[in-house]
Amino acid sequence: MSSREPIDQLLAAHLANELTDDQAIELREHLASDTEALDHYLDLCELDEALVSRQPSTKPLVNLPDTTSTSAMHSFLGWSVAACALVIGNLIWLQTWPTSGRSGLAMVDETATSSTQVDQATTQTAKSPDPARSPNRRPPNPWKVINSSGSMNHPALTVASIPEIDSASDRKLKFNRDIRPILSETCFHCHGPDEHGRRADLRLDTLEGATTDLGGYQPIMPGNVKDSEAWQRIISDDPDMLMPPPESHLALTQEQKTLLKRWIEEGAAYEGHWAFISPTMPEVPTVDFTEEQSEKNWARNDIDFFVAQRLVEANLAPSPEADPRTLIRRLSFDLTGLPPTPEEVNAFVRDYQQHGESAYQETITRLLSSPHHGERMALPWLDQARYADTNGYSIDGGRHMWLWRDWVIQAYNDNMLFDQFLTEQLAGDLLPNPTESQLIATGFNRNHMITHEGGTIPEENLTNYVADRVKTTSEVFLGLTMGCAQCHDHKYDPISQREYYQFFAFFNEIQDNGLDGNSGRNAAPNVMAKTVLQTDELPQLESELEQLRAQLAETTEGLEAWLKSQRQEEASRGDQFRYVPIELLDVSSPNLRGAMEFDANGTVKLAQPSGGLSGMSHSLRLSADELTDGSPITGLRVSFHPRPGPAKPAQEASKEDAAEPTEPPMVLTPFDEAVPKVTTVLISATEQPADQVDYHRQLSFHKVTASTQAEGHAAESIWDESNERWWQPASGQSEQHLTVTFDQPIDPQTTPYLSVLLVFGQGKSLPYEWQIQPFTGNDTDSRWSDSMVDAIQTPFDKWDDTTRKTVLEKFRQTSDQLQPLRTRISNLEERRDVLTGTFSTMVMNTAKKPRETFVLDRGQYDSPTDRVTPTTPKVLPGLADENDKADRLDLARWLTSPDHPLTSRVAANRIWSLFFGTGLVATSADFGSQGEYPSHPELLDYLATHFVEIDWNQQQLIREMVSSATYRQQSSATPEQIELDPKNRLLARGPRFRLPAEFIRDQALAVSDLLVPRVGGPSLQPYQPPALWKEVSHFGSTPATKQVFVQDHGEKLYRRSLYTIVKRTSPHPAMAAFDAPSRELCTMERGATNTPIQALVTLNDPQFAEAARALAERLLIESASNEKSVSDANRIDQAFTIVVGRTPNNEERDAVLSLLQTERERFAESPEDALAAVSVGESPRSATLDPVEHAAWMQVATLLLNLSETLTRL
C-alpha cells in the first residue's frame, strides 16, 4: 500500500460525506505530523490556485502517478478534486499559520510556591525534538480573490462540507494558549495552586510539580507519553484510574486529548502565565498583503497590522469599510451613547466624501468634546463600581451617591489621565491636602451594599464590606478573581489565602460602622460637598425661572371653572356624614418597644416609641351589619387626643405607662408645634383581615383635610408619601383630626376589612392617643380656612385686593390645569439647587485606630488566625516600598507603575470592549488561568504599553481605536466568516451588538425630541409600575428610605437613563429587561439575552409609547410647516432618516405605507381608541392634530423604534 493511500482514503470518505469523527481526527493528525503529506497538501493547494486562475504553472506541481494503475489514477483524481475542497478547508484548518518574525511573549515558569517574582527572562522547558514540518511553506493567501462559483475543473463546495481541523493541530503549541486552559478547566481544582485542597500531593500548574518523581512514577515525562502517569490516567478505561474522575463530571474531549499528547511528545514546555509577565512593546508586524489589498491601503494605523496578521494566518480577509451613514451612527453611539441627528448625518456624509480622513478626525474630536461623552463612558464604569441609589440587602434603604457619579462624568469629560483616575478613586483622601473633588472620588469603594437590619452582626457586616472592596478592586483594576481566595488558597491562580487578607488589609482601615444607613441617611464616613460638574446653566436657569414665575403669577385662565368646582364641594360638605362602627383587631409596629394598648372601637394609647420614623399598622373590621341602607364607606378620619396635664420627659412618661425607656430627647406632650407629625397614610380594603397594607389594593384619595394645620404643613402633604413633608396641626390643646376621602367608595359587604398604615416622624415626640373612624357621606371639613371659604363664596366684583390675592394664590397652587407649569418651575428650582447647594456623599477615610487584619479561617469573620499587614500578591511585582504601614495610596501607585503586568492590559482591554463588543480577552474580569487567552496577544501588549507611553491618555487611545480600519469595517458577515469565525474574535468584520438598555431608551427620547440633555445631578424616577417596589419594601414605607416609588414629573421623565434610579432589589423593569445589572456586585460584562419581554417593553412601556407618539407628532408638524405638500412616502423617508440615519428602500417604503393605511382605517372606525393612544405620557400634545391621523403615524413610529437596525449598534 502506498504511504499516501490512507490519506487518499480519508479524503475520499470526506468527499463522499462519509467521514466519521474518528477519521476526521486521524486526518488532522496526519496533516499535523506527516511532513510529506503536508507538503503534498500544499502542492495541491498551489495546483488549485493555478486551476482557478487558469495560469499555467512554471513547474510540475505533482508527480503524476503511473497511468496504468487504476487505483493510482483514482487516487490522483481524488487528490485533484480534493484540492478544491481543501483550498476552502484550509480556511478552517489553518486559521493561524505560523509566520516568521512574529513577536511573542517570553516563556516563563511559575514556581511551585509562587513566593518569588516571575523571572521574565527565563524559560523552563524539557528537552524535546522539533516537530517535523516545512516552516517556509504557507497556504494560499485568502486575500486574493478565489472563484467560489465552481467550474468543470473546479467544482464548487460549501465551507460547511469541510471537516474542522483545530488551528492548534498545525501550528506550534503554546502552553498558555493551548494547554493551560485544558489543565485549568479539568485539573487545577485538585492539582493546582491551592496547597490545602491539593490531592495526591500532585501539582500540575508548574513544571516542577508536574515532573516530580512521586515514588516510582512521574506525572509528566517530557517527550514520553508512555511513561507519563497523567497521560495514562487520561486514557484509562478503569473508572478508578481515570482522570478527571467520573464523579467530577468533567471530561476531556478527543481534541483536548490529542493536544495534551502532542504537547507531552514535543517536550511538555511550561510557560509562566502570560498575564503575570510585564508587557513589552512588540514589533508591529509586516503583513503579506496581496497587490490588490496594498493598493487599497487597508491598514490605517498600527492596530490594523496586528489584526491583519491574524487574518492572514487564518486565511480570512477583512471586510470593506462601512458606508458613511453607518460610520457616523457607529461613532455617535460609541462616543456619546446617543444617535446622530439627521443634520449631523448629512454633514458627515458630505464632508467625508469631500475631505476623507480629516472629516473623520474632526467628527471624533467633536464627539469626544461633547459633555455626553462623559455620560457614555461613565455607564460601564458605574456597572463596574456597583453604583446604586439604595443600600441593598433586605431593607434596601436609600442613599445619596450621585455626587460620585457626577465626579466620574466630569473626569471623563476632562480626559483625566487614567493613572490619576485610578489613584483618586482608590486613595484620593490620602493625597497631600486632598480637595473636595478628590474626597468625592473615593466613593468608588463606598458603593458596596450596606445594612442596618436588626439581628445582623456588625463585625460580620464589616468583613463583608471589605471583602466587596477587595473583589471590586481586583476585578476592575487587576482582572483577577481574588475573591476566590477568601476562604482558601485560590484553586486556579497562584494567590494564597494569606495574600488575600494582606490585600484585604488595605481596605480595612476605614472608620465605618457595621450597622448604618437607616432612614435614607448616608452611612459614615461621609462629607457635605458640592457637585464637581462644570456647566454654564445657571444664568439660563435663573432667566427661565423668572419668566415662568411671572407667567404663573399672571395666569387667570381656568379660574372660573376652578371656583365653580370648589363652591360645589363646599355646598355638599357634611352631607349624610356619619361614623361607621368598627372592631380594631390589631396594632403593630417594628419600631415600637414601649407599651401600648388599644380597644375595639379604634382607640390606641401609646406610651413611648423608639424614635425617628415610626410606622403603625392597624387591622380593623367594618361593622357592615349596621349599614342597613347600603351606604358605602367614603373616607376615614384619624383623631388625635392630647395627654391630660403638662408635658413630661419621655423617661417619666415611660415609667408611668410601663413603657420601655428609649432616647432622652423624646418627649410626650400635649399638642404644640412639635406633635403630631403625620408623614404618610396608606389604606387598603380586603375580603380577609391583613396585618399590613396590601399595596395591590391600596386606596387612592380624592382629598385630605384637617381640623387645623401649622404653617407650611398642610394636610395634602401626606399625598407625596415623603418624610420631607408632613401634616402638623396648629398649636393648641384641643383634639385634632386628619381626614381622607377616597377616590372611589368601598362596599363593606364585599371588602369588610381595612388595613391602615400611619407613619409618624420628623419630631421629638409622637401622639399620646388616636382613634381611627371610617365614615360614610361627605367630609365635614373643608380643605380651606374659614376666610378662604368666604372668599370662594363671594362674587368676583365683591373681592377686595386682599381677597383677590388670596384666592388667586390658592388657584395657582392647586389648579390641575396649571400643574405642568408648577412642575416646570419646581424642576428648574431643583436643578439650580443641585448646581449651587451642598449634599452628603459617602467617602473613604482612615480611622484614628485602624482595625487589625487577620487571616480568617474559612473566611469566617469570627475565626481570626494570623495577623497580617497590607501588601500585594507575590506572583506580581512588589510594592515600591515594602513596609507594615503600606496604605491605599501605596497600592494605587503600585497599580499605576509602568511595569505592572496587569493594570494597563486590563484597562486597555476594557476600553477595547466598549467599541468592539468584546475585549481582546473576552473574560475581562478574569485574566487568570480560568480566563480566556487573548485573541490577539501581541495587539493587547501593544495597546497596554502604548497606553502607558501616552501617559494613560484615555481619549487618545480611544481615538486610535475608532480610527482604525478594523473599527470601520462593515458589520455584515459572509457565510464564510460565520463558519470560520462565528464570534468575530479575529475581527474580519466590524463589531455588531445590541445597544445597552440605557442607549435604547435614550435613543427613543432623542429621536422623538423628548430628551432633556442636562448632565449630572440626583437620580430620577421615570415611569414604571408603581407597585414593584412595594413587593420588596420594608415595613413603614417612605420615599426617603426608597421603599415607596414616587414617580417624577416634568423634565425628570425625559433625562438620560444613566440617571434612572437604581434600586438594588427592584431595578427599573425596562432596564432589567435589556440586561442592565442590579449593581449589587461589580459587573465587568453585561449579559446579552433575547426575550419576548424586550419586545413588550419597546412596544408597550409608557416611555416608548410616548416617544412614538412624540415622534409621530414631530413628523406631522415638521412636514406641515413645509410650504409644499408632503406625501406619505416623503414623510416615511423623513422618519427613517430620523431614526436610523438613512432612507428606506422601495420594499421597506411600501411595507410602511401599507401599515399606515391599515392603521388609518382601524382608528377611523374607533376614534376613541385613537384618542386614548395619543394621550399616553405626560408631555403635552398638540391639540391641532387629528387624533386618528396622529395615532396612525404613532404606529409607524412604533414600528421604526422596534427595528433590529434601530436597536443594534451596526
In tens, the pLDDT along 867-892 reads: 999 999 999 999 988 888 899 999 99
Q: How far apart are the first and last CA of the chain?
A: 56
Q: DSSP per residue over 716-767, as a string?
A: GGGGGT-TTS-B-PPS-SS-EEEEEEEEEEE-TTT--EEEEEEEE-SSS---
Q: Check residue 1027 and give its pLDDT.
A: 79
What is the per-residue pLDDT for 2?
A: 52
Stronger pLDDT, 55 or 793, i.e. the higher one: 793
Cell numbers 396622529 correspond to what residue?
1190
According to the per-residue pLDDT averaged within each range, which of 41-50, 151-160, 1058-1067 is highest? Answer: 1058-1067
Residues above pLDDT 70, as percent of the chain:
79
| Range in 94-108, 276-290, 441-455, 783-797 with the lowest mean pLDDT | 94-108
User: Residue 44: what pLDDT?
Assistant: 52
How far is 812 from 552, CA to CA, in rounded Å?
7
The vertex-593 CA angle with 591 and 594, nearest 5°, equals: 125
Is 232 or 111 the better-scoring residue by pLDDT?
232
Element (H, E) at 424: helix 418-427
Highest mean pLDDT among 660-674, 789-803, 872-886: 872-886
Alpha-carbon torsion 163, 167, 172, 178, what sign?
negative
In sequence order, the 6+-apart residues with CB closer than 8 A to the CB of 1177 are: 1053, 1102, 1103, 1105, 1106, 1109, 1110
Q: Please give the helix or strand (H or E) that residue 867 lies within, else none.
A: strand 864-868
- Does residue 1118 surpass a pLDDT of 60? yes
Q: What value does the mean pLDDT take over residues 251-270?
A: 88
Find out whether 755 and 781 touch, Cβ atoms under 8 Å.
Answer: no
pLDDT at 713: 81
Of 21-35, 510-524, 814-828, 945-959, which gets the smallest average pLDDT? 21-35
Q: How far is the CA of 959 from the CAs of 181, 217, 274, 533, in angstroms?
A: 33, 56, 27, 24
Per-residue pLDDT, 710 = 80
Whether residue 1137 is predicted with pLDDT greater than 60 in this model: the reply is: yes
pLDDT of residue 63: 35
Average pLDDT, the chain: 82
**Tens digits of residue pLDDT in 682-719:** 888 999 988 888 766 888 888 898 888 887 788 777 76
For the stretch 271-301, pLDDT in tens is 889 999 999 999 999 887 665 555 457 899 9
Yes or no: say if 185 and 252 are a contact pair by the CB < 8 Å rule: no
User: Out of 576-585, 978-987, 1149-1158, which region has the weakest mean confidence (pLDDT)?
Assistant: 576-585
Long-range contacts at 427-431 (CB < 8 A, ≥ 24 apart): 427/844, 427/887, 427/888, 427/889, 427/891, 427/892, 428/844, 429/843, 429/844, 429/845, 429/846, 430/846, 430/887, 430/888, 430/889, 431/889
Return the H-helix or E-strand segment holding 584.
strand 582-588
Res 268: pLDDT: 85
Mean pLDDT throughout 1128-1135?
Answer: 96
Alpha carbons 516 and 391: distance in angstroms, whole number: 10
Tell me the CATH class for 578-779: mainly beta
The mean pLDDT of 567-585, rounded to a whole number, is 87
Kindly report whether the peptide bond that precedes residue 752 is cis, defined as omega within 30 degrees of 0: no
SS3 586: strand
The predicted model gives 943-959 an average pLDDT of 98
Return the domain boundaries, the chain. Answer: 1-93+137-170, 124-131+172-270, 578-779, 1100-1209
Strand pairing category for 648-649 and 603-606: unpaired
Highest mean pLDDT among 517-531, 748-762, 834-848: 834-848
pLDDT > 60? residue 128: no
Angle at 9 between CA 8 and CA 10, to 5 degrees: 90
Write the pLDDT tens digit of every residue in 359-380.
999 999 999 999 999 999 999 9
pLDDT band, very low/low/confident/very high, at 769 (cuts 50, 70, 90): confident
Pick the closest to residue 1136 from 1123, 1127, 1145 (CA basis). Answer: 1145
Please give the backbone phi and psi of residue 1208, each rounded to the nearest 5 degrees, phi first: -115, 140
Residue 598 is classified by DSSP as E
Say what percent of the chain tops pLDDT 90. 52
* Separation CA 278–CA 105 (nearest Å): 9
Q: What is the mean pLDDT of residues 71-77?
A: 36
Taking 90 as the threshold, does the pLDDT of residue 1000 lie above it? yes
Query: Helix, strand or coil for residue 508?
Result: coil
Give the Cα separation of 857 and 317 in Å (integer). Answer: 55
Residue 528 β-bridge partners: 840
Q: By mean pLDDT, which of 524-528, 551-555, 573-577, 908-912 is the weakest?
A: 573-577
At 912, the pLDDT band (50, 70, 90 cuts) reads very high
**Secondary structure string (H, E, C) spanning 657-669:** CCCCCCCCCCEEC
Residue 328 to residues 340, 341, 911, 1138, 1141, Cα–Cα distance (Å):
7, 10, 19, 13, 9
Confidence of residue 593 (pLDDT cuts 50, 70, 90): low
Which is nearest to 843 in space by CA: 433, 451, 427? 427
Q: Are 909 and 901 in contact (CB under 8 A)?
A: no
SS3 string, 443-495, reads HHHHCCCCCCCCCCCHHHHHHHHHHHHHHHHHHHHHCCCHHHHCCCCCCCCCC
Residue 526 forms beta bridges with which residues?
842
CA gap 796, 773 in Å, rounded: 38
Answer whether 181's CB lies under 8 Å from 190's CB.
no
Over the stretch 423-434, which tens digit does the pLDDT of each residue have? 999 999 999 999
How many Å apart are CA 1040 and CA 1046, to the nearest integer?
10
d(CA 218, CA 365): 61
Predicted local distance difference test score (pLDDT) of residue 550? 92
Q: Is the pLDDT of residue 401 over 90?
A: yes
595 pLDDT tier (thresholds 50, 70, 90): low
Task: Give the CA-trace dihedral at 894, 897, 899, 904, to 10 degrees.
Answer: 100
pLDDT for position 24: 65
Q: How far apart are CA 2 and CA 449, in angstroms?
A: 72
Q: How many CB atoms lie within 10 A of CB 343?
A: 8
pLDDT(642) > 60: yes
Question: What whole-number distance in Å separates Cα of residue 836 and Cα of residue 812?
Answer: 27
| pLDDT surpassing 50 at residue 860 | yes
C-alpha cell at 217: 512514577
User: Given this model, what pLDDT does residue 1185 score?
Assistant: 95
Per-residue confidence (pLDDT) for residue 659, from 0 to 100? 35
Question: Cα–Cα distance between 402 and 1052 in angstroms, integer?
Answer: 15
Mean pLDDT within 469-484: 97
